[in-house]
Amino acid sequence: MPSFSSRVERVSISGIREVFEAAGEDAINLGLGQPDFPTPAHARQAAIDAIESGQSDAYTSNKGTRALREAISDKYSRDNNLTVDPENVIATAGGSEALHIAMEAHVDAGDEVIIPDPGFVSYDALTHLAGGTPVPVGLRDDLTLDPGTVEDAITPDTKAFVVNSPANPTGAVQSPADMREFAKIADEHDILCISDEVYEHIVFEGEHRSPLEFTEKNNVVVVNACSKSYSMTGWRLGWVTGSHERIERMLRVHQYAQACASAPAQYAAEAALSGPQDPVEEMVEAFEQRREVLLAGLEEMGLTCPEPAGAFYAMPKVPDGWVDAVIERGVVVVPGDAFGERGDGYARISYATDIETIEEALDIMATATAAVES
């Protein structure tokens, strides 16, 4: 049998999937990374109209339809006070492909990429697939990433670092001052800051700012998607933006690996981005109420949980054996070490489910906590 590439052998299937497989069929699943809301009706309708009219039968331009890229550009003026040329946007198959092409276009064998630990599972894997070496760095006590930690980890081999705010798995939101500092570090050390902003709209405290606002040397690439903001994980529509030179290089990867993002999804995304934004606000309000219920319940059972300011995850510190005890009793949560070594001793709990279910899960978690601590 022909052997496999050493790059792929350095990557394994995410630990999250193993947890799902270990859980019983009627377990309460607090392990999911997707909102439990429908995609906005106007987004669905736009895809239906595009399909029925035959508009989405063919390839679009490699970067995506002009109308979608204009809607993305308008989103940056509306939400981020940034001017983004629609030419400097590539529509991708979700934030995942955007991260992939950013890594492929910038990282060579031997290059180091600094990533948050615990952090979203793709950063480590995509660095390996690009032939690079991930350099996981720890977080502050409040689970935000300290720009000083990133700067201390820089070596002559550092090519890039990843910032993710609001963050998966922690729910942490970086301050505007941190974001400014990340841009400064990228500029001063002439390395790339990959800013993963897929949870941008899900912020309860603080404010989302992008390092893209602060870079003076075009050393920031932003990854975003409709997946979380508009509950469109199944549509597979994201994008990447950055300087013309960077987009041109990322397009070379995208053109050969993907050709273009799915056309019906592009029409849906355009409608989601340019239509009424109330579904986003309603979803964020619901997440905030659920967060309160979850945090109160965790506190009541004596678990310490850095207060998540965004996304829809909480990451409490948990005693040894807690995750197994909870899963055995029928609630799926993800062990913190699925997100990096420093996640050991934590668990990720997703509250993208209704309050009744969260309350039911809390009762089970309280029983498990008592059992583990007895």
Among 94, 211, 279, 308, binds ligand PLP (CB under 6 A): 94
> How far apart, in whole angstroms, are the C-alpha atoms of residue 182 and residue 166?
15
Backbone angles phi, psi at 167, to 5 degrees: -105, 145
Residue type, 200: E
- Binding test (CB under 6 A) with ligand PLP, winner from 45, 55, 96, 243: 96
Using CB under 6 A, pick the residue from 233, 241, 266, 353 that binds ligand PLP.
Answer: 233
Q: Which of 29, 39, 168, 350 binds ligand PLP (CB under 6 A)?
A: 168
Peptide bond into 118 cis (omega under 30): yes
Stretch binding ligand PLP (CB under 6 A), from 41-49, 93-101, 130-138, 294-302: 93-101
Judge whether 361 and 331 are in contact, CB under 8 Å. Answer: yes
Report the candidate in 115, 136, 101 with the shortest Cα–Cα distance to residue 238: 101
Q: Quick count: other Cβ atoms within 10 Å of Cβ 192?
A: 26
Of the candidates 203, 225, 206, 212, the residue with the CA atom closest to the CA atom of residue 312: 203
CB of residue 67 vs ligand PLP: minimum separation in angstroms?
A: 20
- 177-190 as b/e: b if 16+ CB within 10 A: ebbbbbbbbbbeee
Residue 226 Cβ vs ligand PLP, minimum distance, rounded to whole Å: 7
Which residue in 31, 95, 147, 171 binds ligand PLP (CB under 6 A)?
Answer: 95
* Minimum CB–partner distance for residue 96 and ligand PLP (Å): 3
Q: How far is the CB of 144 from ligand PLP (least distance, A)?
A: 14
Tell me: does residue 314 bind ligand PLP (CB under 6 A).
no
Site for ligand PLP in 6-45 (CB under 6 A): 33
Q: How far is the CB of 347 from ligand PLP (least distance, A)?
A: 16
Residue (of 39, 192, 218) closest to 102 by Cα position: 192
Site string for ligand PLP, 341-360 (x = CB under 6 A): --------------------
Inter-CA distances, 194 with 62, 114, 180, 183, 329, Å: 22, 10, 14, 10, 39
Contacts of 356 (CB under 8 A, 6+ apart): none
Structure tokens at 278: 């109330």
List 164, 174, 215, 231, residue binding ligand PLP (CB under 6 A):
164
The interface region with ligand PLP, picked from 94-102, 109-117, 242-250, 338-346 by CB under 6 A, is 94-102
Nearer to ligand PLP, 124 or 187 (CB): 124
Closest CB to ligand PLP among residues 94, 211: 94
Q: Which residues bind ligand PLP (CB under 6 A)?
A: 33, 94-96, 120, 164, 168, 196, 198, 225, 227, 233, 238
